[in-house]
Amino acid sequence: MLTGNALIIGFVVALILLFVFIIKFKWDAFISLLVVALGLGLVSSIPAKDVPGIIAGGFGSTLTGVGILIGLGIIFGQFLAESGAISKIASGMLRAFGVKKSPYAMGATAVTVSIPVFFDAAFIILHKLIQNLSIKTKISLSTFVAILAIGLITAHSLIIPTPGPLVVADQTGSDLGIFFIYGLLVAIPGVLVGGIIYGKFIGKRITNEGRLDPSEVTDFENDSKTGGKEISTALSFGMLILPIALILSNTVVNLIFKDNPEHFIATFFSVIGDKNVALLISVIVAMFALKPYIKHDSSKIFADAFDQSGMVILITGAGGAFGKVVQETGIGDLIIDLMQGVSMPALLLAFLFSQILRASLGSATVALVTTSAIMGPMAMELGVSPVLLGLAICAGGVGLSLPNDSGFWVVSKFGRLSMTETLKVWSIGGFLSGVTALVFVYILSMFQGFLPGL
């Protein structure tokens, strides 16, 4: 039985084994998380017969909060992609900003698109656009790769309703509307620094020479027409905004009727603004409103979405199971005592923990789920705002993507970068974005008494 400092050492060993299973032996994160959770539970003071039940309970409680939402969110994003709405949003952003300010248009597009669509899919969908822009504007392709990639991963890690931030908000007990607003505020400077400013800097050092051939670049506008009918820009943005507006409506109405929560208006918006109901409404609307613009049967869209969501749900649940075991062993209290001993601020500890997992495991979602499952319930003990703690965790999941991350190779392949160039453009840019986000989390903490929801 491990106790005290030996238990912390056991926890570190468990994390190392997790890295070895995933990186060295190529085990799936789902299996790896369950194995280390079982192993850590068995060597701790938890009765051996109780460990399986704790793992199952952690798995189930995590999915109770976000399981339905992850599935609906992926289905919704699949409808937007198949209908051409994502491409239309990108085109609309470019028209609004103009070609001369295309780097800012691409940053805005990346943040917007990453809210409903997974990073890998969004980058692949938009990679032809950045190639065209590079040729038309004479701006280095690496600049646009940095802006698109960093914008996508920053929003993916900080803004709901993507799975990682959803789990973090749930584990910290944060209001989703509040978490969305502050997540967006923190993400914007991260994209500006790590994506646009750094992208322009690195673009001057990685030229387009021998990288692009104008004859092989497909016309993005024509490629965006996925069905027999072209979707409008207004409908594309309207569909994207719908679930966010529904969730925010609940937050706003709750503030208005905080003294009379049983009022029928408050009750109505608490139902349609519930995270699961809001996404369900959005999916149903998408099924009918986007049908004319989709060339495939809806059954194929659902099948593709289920293929994506199944593993995400399993990994999310397994991360929650591992976190539950860590909580039951008492490691959380030991970490707090250790942190107080070295005077490490809670927000910095949350960022570093998430950042280490992100770099080691190669998955932003796994890093966010695991860190929030361990530290999220301790927000009150740590004496910090649950929202700020959650945002610090999310900021840690943004950067330091290494070759063990599938996203690294998506950026390398579709961005036409070598491995070394990808490290310079993608890995360093993401790290800068995450650190910038953390800085702005600290800035928000300075005004904690004046800002609502913190």
Average pLDDT over residues 100-122: 84
pLDDT of residue 81: 82
CB atoms within 10 A of CB 122: 29
Confidence of residue 44 (pLDDT cuts 50, 70, 90): very high
pLDDT at 413: 84
What pLDDT is attached to residue 219? 52
The DSSP string of 240-263 is: HHHHHHHHHHHHHHHHHTTT-TTS
Share of the chain above pLDDT 90, in %: 39
In sequence order, what DSSP letters do the residues of 4-63 get, joined into one string? HHHHHHHHHHHHHHHHIIIIIS---HHHHHHHHHHHHHHHSSS-GGGHHHHHHHHHHHHH
Longest C-alpha distance within the chain, in Å? 67
Q: Measuring CA to CA, which residue among 247, 267, 248, 271 is closest to residue 257?
A: 267
**Average pLDDT over every residue of 293-297:** 87
Residues 340-347 have a mean pLDDT of: 78
pLDDT at 222: 53
With tokens 């613009």, the residue in question is 293
- Angstrom distance (rounded) from CA 157 to CA 187: 9
User: pLDDT grade, residue 335 (50/70/90)?
Assistant: low
Tell me what pLDDT residue 106 has.
92
pLDDT digits (tens, 9 = 90+) for 210-226: 777 766 555 555 555 54
Please say if the pLDDT value at position 391 is more than 90.
yes
- pLDDT-based confidence at 152, cuts 50/70/90? very high
Q: What confidence tier does 283 reach under pLDDT thresholds 50, 70, 90?
A: very high
154's enclosing H/E stretch is helix 141-158
91 pLDDT more than 90:
no
CA 18 to chain centre: 21
Going by C-alpha positions, the residue among 101, 12, 61, 5 that lies closest to residue 333 is 5
Task: Tell me the domain boundaries of the chain.
Answer: 4-446
pLDDT at 204 over 60: yes
280: Cα separation from own chain's centroid = 20
The pair of structure tokens assigned to 434 is 């995450």
Cα distance between residue 427 and residue 167, in whole Å: 24
Q: Is the model's pLDDT at 23 over the cut of 80? A: no
Q: For the residues 375-382, what does the mean pLDDT come to?
A: 84
Task: Using the predicted structure, report yes or no on whether residue 178 has a pLDDT greater than 90.
Answer: yes
Question: Looking at the predicted structure, is the pLDDT value of residue 292 above 80?
Answer: yes
Residue 221 pLDDT: 53
pLDDT score at 340: 59
Average pLDDT, the chain: 86
Over residues 388-394, mean pLDDT: 96
**For 251-277, what is the mean pLDDT?**
87
